[in-house]
A and B are shown apart, each in its own frame.
Chain A
Amino acid sequence: MASVTMEGYNSARTVIGEAIADIGDKDERVWLLTPDVGFGCKDFKEKHPDRFIDTGIAEQDVVGVSSGLAYDGNMPYIIGMMPFMSMRALEQVRTDVCYPNLPVRIIANYSGLTGNGGSTHYAMEDMALYSSLVNMTVCAASDPVQLRQIISGSLTYEGPMSIRIDPGKSNRIIYNEKKDRFTIGKGYTACEGKDLTIIACGEMVDYALQLQEKAASEGLSIRVIDMFTIKPLDEDLVCKAAEETGRIVVWEDHLMKNGLASAVADTLMDHMINVKSFKRFGIPQVYPGFGSAEELYHRYGYDLDAVWNYVKGLF
Chain B
Amino acid sequence: MASARRQIVRDALAVGIATGAYGVSFGAIAVATGLDVLQACALSALVFTGASQFAFVGVVAAGGAPMAGAATALLLGSRNTLYGLRLTSLLGLRGAPRAAGAQLVIDESTAMAVTRHDREHARLGFFATGLSVFVLWNLATLAGALGGRALGDPRDLGLDAAVGAAFLALLWPRLTTPINRAIAVAAALVAVALLPLVPAGVPVLVAAGVAVVAGLGVRR
A binds B: no
